[in-house]
Homo-oligomer: A and B are copies of this chain.
Amino acid sequence: MRVGIVGLGLIGGSLGLALRRLRHSIDVTGVAKRSEGAAAAIERGAVNRASTDLNDLSDCDIVVIATPIDEIAGVIERLAPAVSPGTLITDVASVKQPVVRWAQRLPNPSRFLGGHPVAGKTQSGLEESDAGIFDQEPWIFTPSEGQDVRPFDTWLEVVRAIGATPTFMRADVHDQQMAFLSHLAFAISSAFAETVQKHADPTLGGPGYRGLVRLAGGDPAMYEAIARENRNAMVDAIDRFDAVLHRYRQRIGSGSKVKELFGGAVHAAR
């Protein structure tokens, strides 16, 4: 099996490392935006070969688009003429509805399956890449209505082999789920970091503080792109969180049933 990876950052680089570490090692070709990125990926052992030219992916069985989400539409457009009509294409973006829509422009949309490994680190970039980040995490796929996913069976096997659990859902359901589980989380973390910076001394913070601000250290450009592509679901998630927090505020202020409040949260956190 020959796998192409477009975009050699944290996820693309980690995927390459994970694929090459498998018992039946998989041949990986990487495409980076700049030649420095291509060289660094080879140096790190994340790919067998790398370039800046999508045409070098012409003989791949599957191509994984792992660029920032705002570059995906352009990559899809340039990828179509560069690969053979039978090549499978997938991606790793954390918002799926726009990606699935962009993929409709492919000559053969049925060869595309949207994907999202729910994995990551706060810090991005190839230098943070790590073969282990997919282990024991979900890898969500969002087939179009009625799409036959059998052509992707081998890819699903690979996903399982690197430790992830393939899960299927509709793209809109995925985006709603991630609005709560991931996109709301980085909005909260960012707003908390900003609040503390305004009103307190962060150097007095302990492990609880540090755990809560970690996500705020992520890439602002990535967060902006996600917030743009999943805007409505994200605003809805913030509103629903705000309603819950408001109840915490009222109960704490009145001293009423505060233990039950936190007891329910313990249950939810486990």
| A→B interface (CB under 8 Å) | 118-122, 137-138, 140, 167, 176-178, 180-182, 184-209, 211-218, 220-221, 223-224, 227-228, 231, 234-235, 237-242, 244-249, 252-253, 255, 258-270
Q: Contacts A138-B203, A187-B245, A262-B223; is A208 near B268 (CB within 8 Å)?
A: no
Which of B184, B189, B228 is in CB contact (< 8 Å) with A258?
B228
User: By the criterion CB–CB under 8 Å, are B265 and A191 in contact?
Assistant: yes
User: By the criterion CB–CB under 8 Å, are A213 and B268 in contact?
Assistant: yes
Which of B195, B223, B231, B264 is in CB contact (< 8 Å) with A184?
B195
5 A-B pairs (CB sep. < 8 Å): A180-B199, A197-B268, A214-B269, A228-B255, A235-B252
User: By the criterion CB–CB under 8 Å, are A242 and B239 in contact?
Assistant: no
Chain B residues whose C-beta falls within 8 Å of the C-beta of A203 in the assembled complex: 138
Chain B residues whose C-beta falls within 8 Å of the C-beta of A167 in the assembled complex: 204
Q: Contacts A118-B204, A227-B258, A262-B190; is A213 near B180 (CB within 8 Å)?
A: no
Grouping DSSP codes into helix (H, G, I), strand (E, B) and loop, the A interface class, with mixed when no group exceeds half, is helix
Chain B residues whose C-beta falls within 8 Å of the C-beta of A121 in the assembled complex: 207
User: By the criterion CB–CB under 8 Å, are B231 and A212 in contact?
Assistant: no
A239–B245 CA distance with the chains assembled, in angstroms: 10
User: By the criterion CB–CB under 8 Å, are A269 and B120 in contact?
Assistant: no
Chain B residues whose C-beta falls within 8 Å of the C-beta of A192 in the assembled complex: 184-185, 188, 241
Which of B137, B181, B201, B212 is in CB contact (< 8 Å) with A185?
B212
A196–B213 CA distance with the chains assembled, in angstroms: 18
Chain B residues whose C-beta falls within 8 Å of the C-beta of A194 in the assembled complex: 244, 264-265, 268
User: By the criterion CB–CB under 8 Å, are A244 and B195 in contact?
Assistant: yes
Which of B199, B201, B220, B270 is in CB contact (< 8 Å) with A237?
B199
User: By the criterion CB–CB under 8 Å, are A189 and B265 in contact?
Assistant: yes
Q: Contacts A231-B255, A241-B191; is A180 near B207 (CB within 8 Å)?
A: no
A199–B185 CA distance with the chains assembled, in angstroms: 14
Q: With both chains docked as a complex, state the minimum distance between the C-beta of A37 and any C-beta of chain B, in angstroms.
A: 22
Q: Contacts A119-B207, A120-B206, A265-B190; is A195 near B180 (CB within 8 Å)?
A: yes
